[in-house]
């Protein structure tokens, strides 16, 4: 299985909306179409602090990572926040989410960003396993913020 990680493009919007709707349905959350359209538009804008990474598996988009950068709180440099990471249900557990996270770690290192933050609920065991594996296996300074 070949996984390609790249920046989102305008052509990804339909697939983004499809996976986003599935993600929101899974978590029983409702978000208006206006917010969804605005978020995607901002992710494509070169002037925005929001950006999106896309995971393709054998040419088909199977996952997205929605991120936010801003100036660091405690030290000079930018911090990167992983706002949402979602993967098609058929690809969960097959390395797509891990490939997206690894790409964000690599981006942080390459750009000299000071921290990569993510958060997850205490009860989201799958996400905790994924994130914890990065905390334990990589020495780059990152913090996992747990929402309890």
Q: Residue 103 is part of a domain; what is its CATH number? A: 3.40.630.30
Strand ranges (DSSP E) for 3-141? 3-7, 50-57, 60-71, 78-87, 115-121
Q: Is residue 136 part of a domain?
A: no
Q: Is residue 82 part of a domain?
A: yes
Q: Which structure tokens are listed for 53?
A: 């990474």
Average confidence (pLDDT) over 30-56: 95
As for how many domains the chain has, the answer is 1
Q: Is residue 45 part of a domain?
A: yes
Number of Cβ within 10 Å of residue 5's Cβ equals 19
Q: Is residue 117 part of a domain?
A: yes
pLDDT in tens, 37-48: 999 999 999 999
pTM as predicted: 0.87
Q: Is residue 139 part of a domain?
A: no
Q: Is residue 37 part of a domain?
A: yes
Q: Is residue 71 part of a domain?
A: yes
Q: Is residue 143 part of a domain?
A: no
More confident residue, 72 or 135: 135
Average confidence (pLDDT) over 63-70: 94
pLDDT in tens, 109-121: 888 887 888 887 7
17 lies in which domain range?
1-131
Question: How much of the chain, in percent, has pLDDT values that exceed 90?
Answer: 55
pLDDT attached to residue 6: 97
């Amino acid at each position: 299985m070949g996984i390609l990680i790249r920046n989102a493009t305008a052509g990804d919007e339909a697939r983004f909306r499809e996976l986003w709707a599935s993600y929101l349905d899974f978590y029983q959350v409702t978000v208006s179409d206006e917010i969804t359209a605005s978020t995607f538009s901002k992710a494509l804008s070169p002037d925005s602090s929001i950006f999106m990474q896309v995971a393709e598996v054998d040419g088909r988009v199977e996952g997205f990572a929605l991120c936010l950068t801003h100036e660091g709180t405690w030290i000079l440099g930018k911090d990167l926040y992983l706002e949402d990471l979602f993967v098609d249900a058929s690809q969960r557990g097959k390395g797509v989410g891990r490939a997206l996270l690894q790409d964000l770690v690599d981006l942080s290192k390459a750009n000299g960003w000071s921290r990569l933050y993510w958060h997850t609920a205490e009860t989201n065991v799958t996400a905790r396993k994924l994130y914890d594996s990065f905390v334990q296996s990589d020495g780059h300074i990152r913090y996992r913020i747990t929402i309890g």
